[in-house]
Amino acid sequence: MSKYHIAQLNIATLLAPIDSPQLSDFVANLDRINALADEAPGFVWRLQTEDGDATSIDYFGSDKIVNLSLWDSIEALHKYVYRSAHVEIMRRKKEWFDKMGEAYMVLWWVPADHIPSIEEAAQKLNILREHGPTTEAFTFKKPFPVSAGRPA
């Protein structure tokens, strides 16, 4: 078992309120897609409220939704995001989410016994936005191995 996990933050700007008819299909699929993640090989943890999702967490603003999770490897996360039923939802993102003008997804390494806070995740996103991919905050397109980004 690895001593490190890959953390990921993904935010999206809603085109309408979460309880609107425009987002009803997205909301209707949340439980299914979250369960798919929970059961995916390599899944460790995800941020959620008592409702089982994170749609009511408005740290980035009331018009944004957030996904924060931990995985045992970049490969496991990549497989879930791009090679599972999750892809069906990603294909429809233009129906529900506004195009972001800056980075909205970030990856970073954390010790296996650490659960990142939303504040930590926001700091990592800001590092990526300010400096581009580094060992401290990176993307699928420019990943860094755990040895390069090992937390102190």
Condensed to tens digits (0 to 9), the pLDDT of residues 28-40 reads 999 999 999 999 9
> Lowest-confidence range among 1-10, 21-30, 34-43, 102-111?
1-10
pTM of the model: 0.92
Residue with tokens 């999206």: 12
- Is the predicted pLDDT of residue 123 greater than 70, yes or no? yes
What pLDDT score was predicted for residue 147? Answer: 76
pLDDT band at 150 (very low <50, low <70, confident <90, very high): low
CA atoms 83, 88, 94, 97: torsion sign: negative
pLDDT digits over 36-92, tens only?
999 999 999 999 999 888 999 999 999 999 999 999 999 999 999 999 989 988 899
CB 118, CB 69: distance < 8 Å? no
Task: Tell me whether strands 97-98 and 64-71 are parallel, antiparallel or unpaired.
Answer: unpaired
Rounded to the nearest 5 percent, the helix, strand and coil shares of the chain are: 35, 20, 40
What is the reported pLDDT for 33?
94
Q: Is the pLDDT of residue 151 over 70?
A: no
